[in-house]
Amino acid sequence: MIRTAVVGGSGYTGGELLRILSVHPKVEVTMVTSREYAGKPISLIHPNLKGFFSINFTNFSLDKIGEKADVVFLGLPHGVSLNYVPKLLEIGLQVVDLSADFRLKDPSIYKYWYGIEHPYPDLLNKAVYGLPELHGDDLRGAKLIASPGCNATATILALAPAVKWGFTSNLKFVSDVKVSSSEGGAKPSEGSHHPERQNAIRPYEAEGHRHAAEAEQELSLIGKKDVKISIIPHAISSVRGAMASAHMWLDSQLEDMEIWKKLAEFYRGKKFVRIVRGGIHPYPDPKYVIGSNFADVGFAQEKRLMRLTMFSAIDNLMKGAAGQAVQSFNISRGFEEDEGLRLPPLRPA
Amino acid sequence: MIRTAVVGGSGYTGGELLRILSVHPKVEVTMVTSREYAGKPISLIHPNLKGFFSINFTNFSLDKIGEKADVVFLGLPHGVSLNYVPKLLEIGLQVVDLSADFRLKDPSIYKYWYGIEHPYPDLLNKAVYGLPELHGDDLRGAKLIASPGCNATATILALAPAVKWGFTSNLKFVSDVKVSSSEGGAKPSEGSHHPERQNAIRPYEAEGHRHAAEAEQELSLIGKKDVKISIIPHAISSVRGAMASAHMWLDSQLEDMEIWKKLAEFYRGKKFVRIVRGGIHPYPDPKYVIGSNFADVGFAQEKRLMRLTMFSAIDNLMKGAAGQAVQSFNISRGFEEDEGLRLPPLRPA
Amino acid sequence: MIRTAVVGGSGYTGGELLRILSVHPKVEVTMVTSREYAGKPISLIHPNLKGFFSINFTNFSLDKIGEKADVVFLGLPHGVSLNYVPKLLEIGLQVVDLSADFRLKDPSIYKYWYGIEHPYPDLLNKAVYGLPELHGDDLRGAKLIASPGCNATATILALAPAVKWGFTSNLKFVSDVKVSSSEGGAKPSEGSHHPERQNAIRPYEAEGHRHAAEAEQELSLIGKKDVKISIIPHAISSVRGAMASAHMWLDSQLEDMEIWKKLAEFYRGKKFVRIVRGGIHPYPDPKYVIGSNFADVGFAQEKRLMRLTMFSAIDNLMKGAAGQAVQSFNISRGFEEDEGLRLPPLRPA
Amino acid sequence: MIRTAVVGGSGYTGGELLRILSVHPKVEVTMVTSREYAGKPISLIHPNLKGFFSINFTNFSLDKIGEKADVVFLGLPHGVSLNYVPKLLEIGLQVVDLSADFRLKDPSIYKYWYGIEHPYPDLLNKAVYGLPELHGDDLRGAKLIASPGCNATATILALAPAVKWGFTSNLKFVSDVKVSSSEGGAKPSEGSHHPERQNAIRPYEAEGHRHAAEAEQELSLIGKKDVKISIIPHAISSVRGAMASAHMWLDSQLEDMEIWKKLAEFYRGKKFVRIVRGGIHPYPDPKYVIGSNFADVGFAQEKRLMRLTMFSAIDNLMKGAAGQAVQSFNISRGFEEDEGLRLPPLRPA
């Protein structure tokens, strides 16, 4: 049993990690930290998990975590993980960081998007970008996993095959993402107030969304060319689920069957990617992955204009956060990739 | 491995059974019937289950089901199960019926509520009412399980301790139930049309809801007195979840701690009932059981007026239908009660 | 043109008042106060009203309001209006107070529910409870109107005919209210965070809801007997709309036609109450009054048990707050009751 | 008073027309047809309008409509209006057609998108495309108004200034539209079933959406060049509201202020278009136009990549259907443009 700590356990990502780890047969959760709720039962904040954990939230302590844990999942805000990761690695723990702090390889790009010099540029290279469909090999034995952002995951999984196989010579893409409210985390704000958020169709960070940096990094790697991604998220009223509609103009029409084959080839053997095409539900829809770690990937071509849209639908808390983190962790340890993640999507939900 | 057939597999209850059975370690799904979709892949109708089943929907055939299955779950409309159950029992299969057809013991009460003479009154007594918290012992070895209705389950679990322990001498209760849209099944109608249902707060069957018959039967058994229940459901805009608020007038104030103790005593050792009281989320809310088989039970007393409300929150497709059916089946076979049902609730959802 | 000020104009009630007053032909809005947003355009906070008002929010000032306004609508929190009302009356302004501060006649009941001695007990008697269907005559010329609470309005309108006509001898009622998120006001909180509120079915203030005090006061007046009301609200996921289901046990069955007649008689000539019975939508549903000042009233009787439920459906921001305040104001001034309120409900919404 | 008939009055567009016309001071509704509900009261189908109309639905009859009406609004499905329009014009009535049947000028384009030869090509030229912001002058005195589609309206209003002022030399645009459920009309279907539609983020007609034809026609007219539009709608879970996010790549960065000025210039004096930019709600959101005829228009530029998105937010039943039809009608008659349409948007809703 891998002794596991969740740092920042009172947020939505922390709660989702606990939900997964509670059914993970190779893992024992030994510590869950929360500054605000130290000493309180986990179910106080996560009433869904009532009866699942006997331990309480505790304060973070490097000594204690060193004693009690083999691996640490960090569900902390961006900029906060920075301060924890080096110390945790130093005392020999494996770290799965769900923040953006170690996702980018190039410190100058980090600075561009996050506004500060990265204090640990060496660790950027050591970190493995935890998108198992792209970095499965690198993840084996990884000590520091930088788990991708939700909108980046959706965008990358939608575009990766198109970039890999050169569907178009124009490597500038708009990823129009539709985003559910749990993406914003557990902290209330004016914009997340129910009467304000419900029925909204609200663009945000529409003049530069940070997840573009990750997406460009990963897709450029795949395409071996400089790929540019403009991600433009729209807040809508679902609670879970993100949908990337990544639009591109083709140089010439493609056969739909050809596109399908390339998708299938790209994702062959990837347990958590399903190619969706045709039938009653011809395109991906986050509705059908809710509660699971699946990414459903598909496409629509308007042949008249040679516009191709690649779709990718995920549960933002699963494949977009906690589920993917556990998937990467499983690979890093040589476990079955879907250990703890055999949770079929709910329907209807 | 128990060879298992799901008859009526294209509806929501059928889909939920398949979701559970896909992770049930003691069960192999060998047959899923659907008149409408025979020959089609299961994921055509249940896109969430893409990749989970290799068999297709088939037409029902008594011969084939006899060959292929040990147990049959019937997800058929009321009045249709009637015709299948006797034949399935006759050829030696175990039957778990999710319809209302075999839930009532008294044929005259069946006639009152369903308008026809029950054609198999003898089977009514043979059937075990599949509410494991009440009939755990009877379920062991049961050949015919009549799985309860969702609103009845919520109402009974809310009221059972109050009736058992005689909280009040007045045995007439109003159960004001708030009901999500998946309760109505997978078939579209005017009332279930999204623009009509969304944001509705709509009473229905408000002048006599059939689930009252089951609730009265079971609660009278517990109370050893004639208990009367008026269930009045209100359709609201969630997709999953049902909440019973069962109101009563007390003869005298009760200590809250006393009520809590009685609840705890009544449900001691029951894996799927959680007593909710106090904290940030002081009362049950279906939101925190979504995707799971839990029933969260609690209460609120307005001491000034001696009004007591017992609450029970369930996922109508799980503890209100498919989950409970599998729970009863597990007990009937001597399996762990929660086999296939270790699915923690989602949050947020 | 009546010169009108809205004090506390940045909340939902304030915004709804502005929406109505913007189309009211006899009213000119001359001042809108907000401590937080003084100096800012009204559309900054109420983007729906962009283009409707040329004035900005200002700070409250007794001098200025005395110069600029003939009537003041107070959209302030409970306990805050207390400090404004006497001064505003003193300088000769008419006051329509939407808070709870002047709704109760009996200071001891005020103290019981609000925990403090009322500082202006004399004003309690001077204030007219602004439910025009009950106090139309008193409202003519009223200088201080205490506009009712939303859950109280729904409960009173549901029960008033039953109490008036003595449907039952048992004058203790449970009003199970289903409540939309805008009732909680514009200030974010943990419970109103979208991921938490959406899909909730959450009882609150379930052990004593303050609106019961108003409802008991008004219904006792009508019944000329001591009436007791237990209001138990449930937060659900709509944004607008409240539904009271007020349950009672009858002494003997009533003819449905008889109930209908009594309802019709009670509400004869009341422009904003519609009796709903039969047809495709046999019961009231807040969905069909959204955006309007209507209260739809109806009932359902389970004759088997002599349980009668009276329903009342309102838009909590209109008939439950701003709409009713303007309706009372219209009567007080001798205007048409529906001036500014000829806004048909939206459908679907 | 203009005597007005609504043909196809039981659908959502018909209902919305009735809601508007009920407060229109220059109009008297003399006839409302519905094959299915002839003889039934209007409020049977439109419970929101209970008390507003004393006439019942009737069957369509050319003779009667000729006697009773001066103008006819057609809320009929595409392909059905075709058969009514010529006859209604012939007997001298003014026709406002809300279907797609007379929107396109070029019969060959009609054939391409609708699959049949247009039977009345001469009427195509006679019809005025009822988008008042573009065709205000042509509408004066118009006898046949072809009212635009909702997704076309949103797309055209978003892109018109960009095309007019030549923001980019690349005249191929993707309009990624987010669409509420009322767009699909009042008829239930599998896809509109509440449990299926709620929480969906579902692309549809993603390989060629017919509204592109109108949008291309109108924008090519404005741009005096061949403009190509790929509209790709996504069904989401709101009931009302459509949002077009029209993406383009610029040749060079533009000053935001410059874009704003061009928008303001283009829409100067247009009562129902509001330019939204900056503040707490920096972009358009359909949430803030619900219930009204406004189109809120705005933009977001990612300067790093020279990606510009033009937004347009409408209530699909108002500016996207019934509201716009009445607006065009008002102009055709020389009334104030906003007669009957002074309905401020609801908030929150």
Which subunits sit against B, judged by 3+ Cβ pairs under 8 A?
A, C, D
How far is the C-alpha of A126 from the C-alpha of A142, rounded, in Å? 9
Q: State how far Cα C184 lies from the chain centre.
A: 13
Please say whether the beta carbons of A12 and B348 come within 8 A: yes
Give the ipTM.
0.97
Please say whether the beta carbons of D48 and D12 come within 8 A: no
pLDDT in tens, A89-117: 999 999 999 999 999 999 999 999 999 99
Domain boundaries, chain B: 2-147+321-333, 150-314
Please say whether the beta carbons of C284 and C225 come within 8 A: no
Q: Does D178 contact A234 at a Cβ distance shorter than 8 Å?
A: yes
pLDDT in tens, C160-217: 999 999 999 999 999 999 999 999 999 999 999 999 999 999 999 999 999 999 999 9
How far is the C-alpha of B242 from the C-alpha of A59, rounded, in Å? 37
CB atoms within 10 A of CB A258: 12
3-class DSSP state for residue A223?
A: helix
Please say whether the beta carbons of A240 and A140 come within 8 A: no
Which of C187, C189, C195 is closest, CB to CB, to A181? C195
How far is the C-alpha of A308 from the C-alpha of B331, rounded, in Å? 53
Angle value at C-alpha A158, between A152 and A161, nearest 5 degrees:
120
Please say whether the beta carbons of A262 and A161 come within 8 A: yes
- D279 vs A: CB within 8 A: no
CA dihedral A108, A112, A116, A118 (to 10 degrees): -30
Question: Which residues in chain D are contacts of C285 at CB distance < 8 A?
Answer: 47
User: Residue D12: which H helix or E strand, with range?
Assistant: helix D12-21
Split at pLDDT 50, 70, 90, the class of A278 is very high
CB atoms within 10 A of CB D53: 18
Residues of C with a catalytic annotation lie at 150
What percentage of chain B carries pLDDT values higher than 90? Answer: 100
Whether the domain at B2-147+321-333 and the domain at B150-314 fall into the same CATH topology: no
How far is the C-alpha of B219 from the C-alpha of B225, rounded, in Å? 8
**Can you give the pLDDT at residue B201?**
98
Please say whether the beta carbons of B14 and B41 come within 8 A: no
How far is the C-alpha of A252 from the C-alpha of A236, rounded, in Å? 34
**Selected residues 181-220 of chain D with any CB under 8 Å from a CB in chain B:** 181-182, 184, 186-190, 192-199
Provide CB contacts within 8 A for D172, sequence distance 6+: A249, A305, A307, D227, D228, D229, D230
Tokens of B108: 């005259």
Tokens of D54: 């004393």
Q: Does domain D2-147+321-333 have CATH number 3.40.50.720?
A: yes
Residue C11, phi then psi, degrees to nearest 5: -85, -175
Q: Does B194 contact D199 at a Cβ distance shorter than 8 Å?
A: no
Q: β-strands C2-7, C27-33: how paired?
A: parallel
- The predicted model gives D86-113 an average pLDDT of 98
Split at pLDDT 50, 70, 90, the class of D148 is very high
**Can you give the pLDDT at residue B317?**
98
Split at pLDDT 50, 70, 90, the class of C21 is very high
CA nearest to C190 within chain A = A188
What percentage of chain D carries pLDDT values higher than 90? Answer: 100
Which of C182, C281, C348 is closest, CB to CB, to D348? C182
**Can you give the pLDDT at residue D128?**
98
3-class DSSP state for residue A177?
A: strand
CB atoms within 10 A of CB A85: 24
Please say whether the beta carbons of A180 and A241 come within 8 A: yes
HSE at residue D122, side-chain half, CA atoms within 13 A, is 2
Q: Does B247 contact C174 at a Cβ distance shorter than 8 Å?
A: yes
Which of A302, A315, A317 to mutate: most D Cβ within 10 Å? A302
Where residue C62 falls (left for φ over 0; alpha for ψ -120 to 50; beta otherwise) is: alpha
Q: Would you give per-residue pLDDT tens digits along chain B (349 residues)?
A: 999 999 999 999 999 999 999 999 999 999 999 999 999 999 999 999 999 999 999 999 999 999 999 999 999 999 999 999 999 999 999 999 999 999 999 999 999 999 999 999 999 999 999 999 999 999 999 999 999 999 999 999 999 999 999 999 999 999 999 999 999 999 999 999 999 999 999 999 999 999 999 999 999 999 999 999 999 999 999 999 999 999 999 999 999 999 999 999 999 999 999 999 999 999 999 999 999 999 999 999 999 999 999 999 999 999 999 999 999 999 999 999 999 999 999 999 9
| CA neighbor of C346 nearest in space, from D168, D344, B274 | D344
CB atoms within 10 A of CB D26: 15
Q: How far apart, in Å, are the Cα atoms of A87 and each of A74, A77, A241?
A: 13, 17, 34
**Chain D closest-CA separation from residue A233 CA (Å):** 11
Residues in chain C: 349
What percentage of chain D carries pLDDT values higher than 70? Answer: 100
The reply to whether A12 sits in an annotated binding site is yes
**Chain B closest-CA separation from residue D199 CA (Å):** 9
**Residue type at position C75:** G
Question: Which residues in chain B are contacts of A50 at CB distance < 8 A?
Answer: 274, 276, 288, 296
Which of D175, D209, D302, D346 to mutate: most A Cβ within 10 Å? D302
Question: Which residues in chain B are contacts of A199 at CB distance < 8 A?
Answer: none
DSSP bridge partners of B57: B32
The topology (CATH level 3) of B150-314 is Dihydrodipicolinate Reductase; domain 2 (3.30.360)
**Chain B closest-CA separation from residue A25 CA (Å):** 12
Tokens of D22: 């009920």
